[in-house]
Amino acid sequence: MPDDFIPLTLPPQTRMIWQDLVATIDASIHTLHNGVPDPLWWGSARVAYDAQVEDIISELRQAKWEILAALEHPG
């Protein structure tokens, strides 16, 4: 191992903050996935709403995986 190699590790407090963020993202995904709007709401507005929710869930999942990857390989 070269002398200038310094393994990058996160302090435990920082790791916990990021892990809490991942848990919050998971809870948000769960809420969006299981939250059902008024069952009488239908039509194009409902279709647009469902599409937006799926887009948001996709973005949240991507953010979660990026955080987990950064925690696994910091630096």
Residue pLDDT, tens place only, 20-31: 999 999 999 999
Report residue 26 as tokens: 């998971």
Domain carrying residue 21:
12-72
Structurally, the chain folds into a number of domains equal to 1
Residue pLDDT, tens place only, 32-74: 988 877 777 888 988 898 999 999 999 999 999 999 999 988 7
Whole-structure pTM value:
0.77
In a domain, 7, yes or no: no
**Which positions ≥6 away from 16 have C-beta within 8 Å?**
none
**CA distances (Å), origin 14, targets 1, 9, 36, 62:** 27, 10, 35, 20
In a domain, 51, yes or no: yes
Residue pLDDT, tens place only, 7-21: 568 788 989 999 999
In a domain, 4, yes or no: no
Question: Residue 1: its pLDDT value, please?
Answer: 46
Q: Under a CB-based contact definition with an 8 Å cutoff, are residues 56 and 32 in contact?
A: yes
